[in-house]
Chains A and B, each alone.
Chain A
């Protein structure tokens, strides 16, 4: 039953770009998949393990820069760069978060924010990777090996789709197995988790590494899709915040949450940008901010929490009626 719903959603997404062959629509779908996938990976460390990360742009950026720099400087295939980026991101996540895990709650969140900003500044002043100027990825003819497709957006869509399926599968597998239970126990209480024999630091570290590796995969894809990156774009706070907000809006700690959140936010921001142009910049975030305020006030578990609540109320009603 659970799986059927999952497959249904995946199938529906897969059909969409073929049913509606509008390039703009396909672009929105690609962005949707990227951000839904980012939300899924962020959910692992924050939704499941309860360690709020406001710095996921750091791993997104590392993914984007790794594949791009390796291609730009050494003509290494972005596919290899993507895998390297995931490995780098996992290593950086381990090194950075190990000391940060001594901090609890808000302090951890602030530390992740600071770390992401530090990494951004490092890239801004790093001449070897062109600093603040950013890197334009040299345009090559369509090639699978070079991950460049100019004639159609469908190949990008399929790559994004596969990455999204990977992120979703990892999240679902974690949630349904020992690791998911352990991470949720850590979220509820470190002490209780320890008393149950859970090595809290180790499991948080695993969660952070998995989460950041997946985030980096999307970073590489994003760079290949846009064909230009600079530190402000890929390491920016708005990337971190978008990931956080869309997951919170949809439903934190729930594998469907990021899908719902990204399904609302991404079309909203892409279409307001398209319709309103430069003057409309930020309107999506305003609407979005208002949505978040409403959701946070009425149902902290997000839109999915609202559904659950009404279902429960319905069930109670049925019970009393019977």
Chain B
């Protein structure tokens, strides 16, 4: 079998004495949707930042498409086809929605016309076309999160790391975001998702990696993970634990 698209090997990240990521290893195959879950402070966002080049890991290696990308700069990694969104959205506020997406589209476009075509496709796909002339700063939070995805989508990535794109959204918006994730995946983009909204990502993930206090505690299919006692206790909490017991009994 060929190598996975993204491979993280024994990654450790420290901030002073605080160990944010402790010897974390996992992989993502091309075409998969993998979720990264864990309670607050488990080191999910730090892991993202290490993979995407915002932080230089203390130890360990990251491979993308078989190439060592450890310690490369973010823009180099983006150029290779791996990019990320931000938990705290970073729209280019003073620019319009279309200009935001256009900025991403310039990465692989030869000229402005080509970039505009790419931007148009992306805006249609992410349902932002009607809002293309609005300043990005004036969008609702749901649309800002959508724009986060649209911007990086315009860079034509092979893989996107989504950092809590569903947090703070209402039910309908979460459903739309889920549909967008699935659509992205169908178009051939591999996804690594950090998320808190369990019911949203469990159904769409191929595999789930669970972090707790910087360490990987388990990984597996959504069913395996939700039935893992350690995960239930450490992360999902007593309520979910009880609920899962109930459903099990029901079966």
Report how far A187 CA is from B99 CA in the complex, Å.
14
> In the docked arrangement, what's the CA distance between A199 and B107, Å?
11
Smallest CB-CB separation from A198: which chain B residue?
B75
B92:A197 contact, CB within 8 angstroms: no
Q: Is A54 an interface residue (CB 8 A)?
A: no
Q: Is A247 an interface residue (CB 8 A)?
A: no
Residue B102 is within 8 A (CB to CB) of chain A in the complex: yes
* One of B18-26, B30-38, B82-90 contacting the partner: B82-90
User: Does A178 interact with chain B (Cβ within 8 Å)?
Assistant: yes
Contacting residues, chain A, for B83 (C-beta < 8 A): 195-197
Contact of A196 among B54, B93, B94, B107 (CB under 8 A): B107
Q: Give min CB distance, B12 to chain A, whole Å.
A: 23
Please give the distance in Å from B120's CB to the nearest CB on chain A. 15
CB distance from A192 to the nearest CB of B (A): 4
Q: A177-B112, A185-B92, A188-B92 are in contact. Are A195 and B52 (CB under 8 A)?
A: yes
Alpha-carbon gap, A200 to B76, bound state (A) = 11
B118-150 vs A, CB cutoff 8 Å, 1 = contact: the mask equals 000000000000000000000000000000000
A197 lies within 8 A of B94 (CB)? no
Docked-complex contact B95 and A197, CB < 8 angstroms: no
Residues of B within 8 A of A185 (CB): 92, 95, 103
Neighbouring B residues of A187 by C-beta, 8 Å: 94
Residue among B54, B78, B85, B93 making CB contact with A197, cutoff 8 Å: B78
Give per-residue flags for A161-191: 1 if the beta carbon is below 8 A from chain B beta carbons, else 0.
Answer: 0000000000000001110011011011101
Asked if residues B52 and A178 are in contact (CB atoms below 8 Å), the reply is no
Instruction: Report the Cα distance A185→B115, complex, angstroms.
Output: 16
* Beta-carbon contact of B75 and A184 below 8 Å: no
Judge whether A142 is part of the interface by a CB distance below 8 angstroms. Answer: no
Q: Does B79 contact A (CB under 8 A)?
A: yes
The verdict on A194 contacting chain B, using a C-beta distance below 8 Å, is yes
Return the CB mask of B139-165 against A: 1 if under 8 Å, else 0: 000000000000110110000000000
A57 to B214 Cα, complex, angstroms: 51
Q: Across the interface, do A194 and B75 meet the contact criterion of CB distance under 8 Å?
A: yes
Asked if residues A178 and B112 are in contact (CB atoms below 8 Å), the reply is yes
Q: Hey, what's the 0/1 contact readout for A195-215 against B, CB within 8 Å counting as 1?
A: 111111000000000000000
Bound complex: CA of A253 vs CA of B93, how far in Å?
14
User: How far apart are the CA atoms of A57 and B78 in the complex, in Å?
Assistant: 37
Question: What's the nearest-Cβ distance from chain A to residue B124, in Å?
Answer: 19
B106 proximity list for chain A (CB < 8 A): 178, 181-182
Measured between C-beta atoms, what is the minimum distance from B62 to chain A in Å? 16
Given A188-B94, A188-B95, A197-B83, A181-B103 contact (CB < 8 Å): yes
CA distance A28 to B42 in the complex (A): 65
Contact count A vs B, C-beta below 8 Å = 78
Q: Give residues of chain B (148-194) contacting chain A, Cβ–Cβ below 8 Å.
A: 151-152, 154-155
| Bound-state Cα–Cα, A198 to B151, Å | 12
B74 close to A (CB within 8 Å): yes
Annotate B91-118 by CB proximity to A: 1 below 8 A, 0 otherwise: 1111100010011101100001001000
Give CA–CA (A192, B155) in the complex, Å. Answer: 12
For the complex, what is the distance from the CA of A182 to the CA of B102, rounded to whole Å?
A: 10
Are A189 and B92 CB-contacts (below 8 A) given A182-B106, A195-B86, A196-B152? Answer: yes
Q: A181-B103, A192-B86 are in contact. Are A199 and B75 (CB under 8 A)?
A: yes
Question: Across the interface, do A197 and B90 meet the contact criterion of CB distance under 8 Å?
Answer: no
B90 contacts A192, C-beta separation under 8 Å: yes
Q: Note all chain B residues with C-beta closer than 8 A to A184.
A: 92, 94-95, 99, 103
Q: A192–B93 contact, CB under 8 A? A: no
Per-residue A-contact encoding for B14-58, CB less than 8 Å = 1, 0 else = 000000000000000000000000000000000000001110000
Asked if B78 and A195 sit within 8 Å, CB to CB, the answer is yes
In this complex, which of B83, B90, B103, B106 has the most chain A Cβ atoms within 10 angstroms of its Cβ? B103
In the complex, the chain A residue whose C-beta lies closest to that of B92 is A188
Who on chain B is nearest to A192 by CB? B90
Known A181-B103, A182-B106; contact A194-B90, beta-carbon cutoff 8 A: no
Chain A residues, Cβ within 8 Å of B93: 188
Whether B112 lies near A192 (C-beta < 8 A) is: no
- Beyond A181-B106, A184-B99, 5 additional contacts (C-beta under 8 Å) are A189-B90, A191-B54, A197-B83, A197-B104, A198-B75
A-B contact pairs, 27 of them (CB 8 A): A178-B112, A181-B99, A181-B102, A182-B103, A184-B94, A184-B99, A185-B95, A185-B103, A188-B95, A189-B92, A192-B90, A192-B91, A192-B92, A192-B151, A193-B103, A194-B73, A194-B74, A195-B74, A195-B83, A195-B84, A195-B152, A196-B107, A197-B78, A197-B79, A197-B83, A198-B75, A199-B75
User: Measuring CB to CB, which residues of chain A are less than 8 angstroms from any residue of chain B?
Assistant: 176-178, 181-182, 184-185, 187-189, 191-200, 253
In the A-B complex, the 5 residue pairs with the closest CB atoms: A197-B78, A194-B74, A192-B90, A188-B92, A197-B107
